[in-house]
Chain A
Amino acid sequence: MKKWLPFLLLPSLLMAGGDLQSKIRQARQKVFPALVHIQPIKEFVDSGEPQKVQVTGSGFIFSEDGYVLTNNHVAEKARFVMCTLSSKKEVEAEVVGLDPWTDLAVLKLKLEKSNLKKVPFARLGDSDQLEVGQVVLALGSPLGLARSLSMGVISSVDRYFGQSGDMTSPYNLWIQTDAAINPGNSGGPLVNLDGEVVGINARAITFGENLGFAIPINTAKYVIKQLLEKGEVERAWIGVEWQEIKDLKAYLNLPKLQGVLIREIDENSPAQKAGLRPGFVVTEINGQKVNALYQEELPKVRLLVSSLPVGQSIEIKFLDENLAPQKVTLITEKQGKFSGDEYYCAEWGFSVKEITPRIRKHFRLTESDKVLISGIQMGSPAQEAGVFSGAVLKKIDNQPVKNIDQFITAYENQYRKDNKDHLLLIKIGEVNRFALIKGKKQE
């Protein structure tokens, strides 16, 4: 039988080679009707002032009742989303759920409003089956040029990006492709030759050539399910940052070592309370063995932790500083918000933002820092008083600012209407400054 195999395969190989053109056409035809050109109007606060802007992105319909998958960075902060289907029909959509951690979002087309019952949708493939060299197509609206198609191959299936800035992707590896991807392609599908969506195009390296990156569809499947069920992706948090053990193995001269190295423990986290410390090697989480020899294996570990049940007791087995096997139990917590709510104080002329654990860590703020001044309007009372963007709002009239809700309530009920002088204490690093915002009428 084995002898015959090449002969059996030969015709199909020839077919594939000769028929690439028609395969591309077929694949496109399967996905194209589900393609969506998205033009959300975003409202946000910049330089302490509310701003509006219309942006362009891509997306695709994945169910006949009109659910659309796109990137979080396309849909976030959108007050109004207008989608153009491949039929050029314009349909309004609402945001069902956002997941900034994976940069994914689900929208729902308002079909009834446009007198539509059903819409064509794309089938989702299996991104675990992707192979480097496989031909793929990218569809979307690069630079706003709607309904474009580009072709390339899978360049890599396990590209790892470290966590930096707003574009973090802690839970997945990336599909790299040389199919041309430009801004505006964001949220568009990456399709195999069977016409199945295998990835969501999300990033391109603008100073590189043909370096596009897509989120694997299997990551999206999990997110879609959660967003449709709960409107958000609930993740567990234990407060551990991980590091691969490749170098540790060499350092310890233990070729058989398995596990993941703890490189950081967050303050006041379940892990800290349970006594876990940097340097320990975790071998098992809630009954599942973990191992990360290379950093490409870290997202898998983070995903495992994040999908633990929230608020429940779990067991962690690890090797301590003397490599002695130990175990602890800890209670998982719900992961904090990705970014905080922003609030615009029109009368004072600045915007404030809630300090989430992520921001706190990034700017190295303390537990008692709750509200960040995110923008200052030029020529406003706040600017005149010497308030500056990036400072932490600590006190107003000698009363500590305990959280953003408390500030907003006090601002709306009192500060903005009492026309009195208010003394703000703001802080940058370890240095404070008093800023007197003058009321309209002098007493």
Chain B
Amino acid sequence: MKWILQVSLLLSLVSFLPAQKNWQKIFDAYSNKIVTINYYEQILSFEEIEDKERVKRHLTGIIVDDRGLILTSSAIYPAKIEFSASFNMMASAKIPTEIKVKFKNGIELPAKFIGKDDDLGIAFIQLTDSLQTVGVQFSKTNKLNIGQEIFLLTHLPESYDFNQIIVKRRINSIAGGNEPRYYFEKNFSSLTNFGLAIDASGRAVGYFYGGDRPVVNRLPFSGISSGGLAQIVLFNRFAEQVKQPPVFKHKQTVRKKWLGIYMQPFTRDLARYFGQPDLQGILINTVIKNSPAESAGLLPGDVITKINEQPLVAEKDSDLETLRQIIRNQKADTVVLEIFRTQHFVLKKVNLRGSPISQFMAEEVANPELDFSVKELTRDVILNRNLPPDTKGVWVSRVERAGWADIAGLQIGDLLLAINDVKIQSIEDIKKIFKQIEESKPKFVKLFVQHSGNTRFIFIKTNYQTRRGDE
């Protein structure tokens, strides 16, 4: 009786061995190609005109070539480069500092920030010492199937000493048409929602990341994530970025193309209302002022039926992504749109431009004597504050807590219209006037500000003439 048990145990072991071997093989093949990255992120404070605090963070990275290029999550630099309607105030505009890459063998090497792609949720860093590295060779797999097994290699959180973890999941959902998004149930703890994705035959197919917005929560101690759906991005979507990584050059960063419209699906009901039941396309509802779309003469109510002769179909909101991606990743500076307007088709040539910068890229000027900082106005701030689209000038970005400006009543978000009766139209104007104030050392400075639609004067008492001790 006993031997039956032993034999069956042995049999079960034998049958499990190949699987175990496979896991081990995959782990061994890639574990030295994923690394932990640690760096410091400056913590933004609105109540202090200088960033003093910083926090150490950790991420997972994937070595992607032999020159020390490492792919990681765009969470390493959460500030948006381009303007967008959603307005994340909390991210710091300072790039990560003291980046160090720790290899599996324990060696730690310094690295520098190269750039990022917010659409893909990825960033690149590179080792500063020229060093031969062995990168992941990605397979050209361009399709995953529902139910397909996928291995995911990443790191555990700090409390588990950043140990590597390998898990097996299956593709649970596939969304989208031309560029499908592959979702799996990500219900394991990891350092971040980022890591390497490998198929059952041991080929690296891409990376995974948690959802469309990598790290929304930027509180200092929020490193751990678990639960929810994560997405696998196949190599064909980021191969180009690996070959030629996006380079961050502050304002000069090459930005994606921008048309300057808001759009909505052109549904069957709308098509019937327009008297064209078979017409398909995308309905423009808003044309942004001073945008390529406005220059090209596009109008709200136009239906875009084709872009560069490619037909467009949008029945639901998620279908709008197709046109958005075509525009954003457009190589050429010009596209031709076919427009349906007042029962006629017209062709419109549009000269695309780079997307406007976000407020994070805007120049900030601090005045430590008056205790406040200002930033040049960017489109996202104009949109968010509901200002007239052609508003020029600067806004108050920080006010030192209990500083002179704070005491006088200046508030973050105030639009600064004039200082000492001199109109402010640009950041250069402010630099000039700050210099004058520093030279003339007045007792009071008169500001004219707009605060939530109302204008008023604010008189800041300076401390030029009352130094400590002689009050």
Residues on A lying within 8 angstroms of B by beta carbon are 241, 243, 247-248, 250-251, 253, 261, 263-264, 278-279, 321, 361-364, 398, 421, 423, 425, 429-434, 436, 438, 442
Q: Are A321 and B421 in contact (CB under 8 A)?
A: yes
CB distance from A59 to the nearest CB of B (A): 34
Once A279-B421, A421-B269, A431-B286 are accepted as A-B contacts, the answer to whether A263 and B444 lie under 8 Å apart by CB is no
Whether B310 sits at the interface, judged by CB under 8 Å, is no
Residue in B closest to A433 when the chains form the complex, CB atoms: B285
- 22 A-B residue pairs with Cβ-Cβ distance under 8 Å, sorted by A, are A247-B444, A247-B457, A247-B458, A250-B459, A250-B461, A253-B443, A263-B455, A263-B457, A279-B457, A361-B454, A421-B272, A423-B273, A430-B289, A431-B85, A431-B262, A431-B285, A433-B262, A433-B264, A433-B285, A434-B264, A436-B267, A438-B269
Q: Are A263 and B456 in contact (CB under 8 A)?
A: yes
Interchain residue pairs A-B with the least CB separation, the first 3: A247-B459, A251-B444, A263-B456
Once A278-B448, A430-B389, A433-B264 are accepted as A-B contacts, the answer to whether A364 and B453 lie under 8 Å apart by CB is yes
The CA-CA distance from A434 to B383 in the complex, in Å, is 19
Whether B111 sits at the interface, judged by CB under 8 Å, is no
Residue in A closest to B274 when the chains form the complex, CB atoms: A423
**Which of chain A's residues have a CB closer than 8 A to the CB of B273?**
421, 423, 436
Contacting residues of chain B (332-391) with chain A, CB-CB under 8 angstroms: 383, 386-387, 389
Whether B301 sits at the interface, judged by CB under 8 Å, is yes
CB distance from A362 to the nearest CB of B (A): 7
Whether B410 sits at the interface, judged by CB under 8 Å, is no
Once A264-B456, A278-B455, A364-B453 are accepted as A-B contacts, the answer to whether A250 and B389 lie under 8 Å apart by CB is no
The CA-CA distance from A421 to B389 in the complex, in Å, is 33
Residue in A closest to B442 when the chains form the complex, CB atoms: A251
The CA-CA distance from A241 to B457 in the complex, in Å, is 11
Instruction: Identify A398's interface contact among B301, B448, B454, CB under 8 A.
Output: B301
**Extra 8 A-B pairs, beta carbons < 8 Å, given A361-B453, A432-B300:** A247-B444, A261-B457, A264-B454, A425-B285, A430-B286, A430-B289, A433-B264, A434-B285
Whether B63 sits at the interface, judged by CB under 8 Å, is no
The CA-CA distance from A257 to B453 in the complex, in Å, is 28
**Which of chain A's residues have a CB closer than 8 A to the CB of B314?**
none
Contacting residues of chain B (414-471) with chain A, CB-CB under 8 angstroms: 421, 443-444, 446, 448, 453-459, 461
**Which of chain B's residues have a CB closer than 8 A to the CB of A362?**
453
**Which of chain B's residues have a CB closer than 8 A to the CB of A421?**
269, 272-273
The CA-CA distance from A319 to B413 in the complex, in Å, is 30
Q: Are A430 and B269 in contact (CB under 8 A)?
A: no
Whether B283 sits at the interface, judged by CB under 8 Å, is yes
Q: Are A364 and B459 in contact (CB under 8 A)?
A: no
CB distance from B378 to the nearest CB of A (A): 14
Q: Are A264 and B444 in contact (CB under 8 A)?
A: no
Once A423-B273, A430-B389, A431-B262 are accepted as A-B contacts, the answer to whether A248 and B383 lie under 8 Å apart by CB is no
